[in-house]
A and B are shown apart, each in its own frame.
Chain A
């Protein structure tokens, strides 16, 4: 069975510091990988996705994630965070259908 593990439930980090949010998945077949972000009192928004090709994918607001097949990981990174990045981040996979498996989320708290 597939599963997605986000080991860190909360990550506090100071503004302008780098951050990494970890995501590991288990699947015996190829999957599509996603990071969604949920700002306070809002729905989930797609941050970035890996479908195929280059293992490094980037978002428009400076986040990037690298697909590592051997480690079955899809960690999310940003070299310098802003207060506005404070949100909950969800890692998710699907097997080429609309049926997602979500991680439990990581709450990123950026401190001034």
Chain B
């Protein structure tokens, strides 16, 4: 299984500012994923990030609000732009875990509070 780290682990930000979250994995992977986990709600996929191509966003998420970079096979960043209190969530990075069952390995998450 892959070991995934995220930075920062938590942050408190002012509305209108932006935060970039980093995700580092200890092995090369083609597919990385970004999720949002809002309080009391299920995990929601924001986008899929493949190295060498533009990220693919899910319905309800746009690149201007959540720009993603994927410069190599072990690293990705997610930026939450022009934040509002509604963006307060846990943001999780995950990576592919093999094609049998399509399981994923998750990072520890970044807890974001917007004031």
Q: Which residues of A contact B (CB under 8 A)?
A: 4, 9, 32, 34, 36, 41-46, 49, 51, 90, 94, 96-100, 102-105
**A-B residue pair count with CB separations less than 8 angstroms:** 54
- Evaluate contact between B42 and A9: CB separation under 8 angstroms: no
Q: A34-B101, A96-B102 are in contact. List 11 more A-B contacts (CB 8 A).
A: A9-B40, A32-B101, A32-B102, A44-B92, A45-B106, A46-B105, A100-B43, A100-B104, A102-B42, A103-B42, A104-B41
- Evaluate contact between A43 and B104: CB separation under 8 angstroms: no
- Evaluate contact between A51 and B101: CB separation under 8 angstroms: yes
Q: Mark B82-115, 1 if CB is under 8 A from A, else 0.
A: 0000000000101011001111111111000000
- Evaluate contact between A100 and B100: CB separation under 8 angstroms: no
Which residues in B have their C-beta under 8 angstroms from that of A32? 101-102
B4 at the interface (CB under 8 A from A): yes
Which among A43, A51, A102, A105 is the interface contact of B108 at CB below 8 angstroms?
A: A43
For A4, give the chain B residue with the smallest CB separation.
B42
CA distance A4 to B102 in the complex (A): 17
Contact residue range for chain B?
20 to 34
Enumerate 30 A-B pairs (CB-CB under 8 Å) in ascending A order.
Answer: A4-B42, A9-B40, A32-B102, A34-B103, A41-B108, A42-B108, A43-B4, A43-B92, A43-B106, A43-B107, A43-B108, A44-B43, A44-B92, A44-B94, A45-B106, A46-B97, A46-B103, A51-B100, A90-B42, A90-B43, A97-B102, A98-B31, A98-B33, A98-B96, A98-B104, A100-B43, A102-B43, A103-B42, A104-B40, A104-B42
Given A4-B42, A103-B42, A105-B42, A94-B102 contact (CB < 8 Å): yes
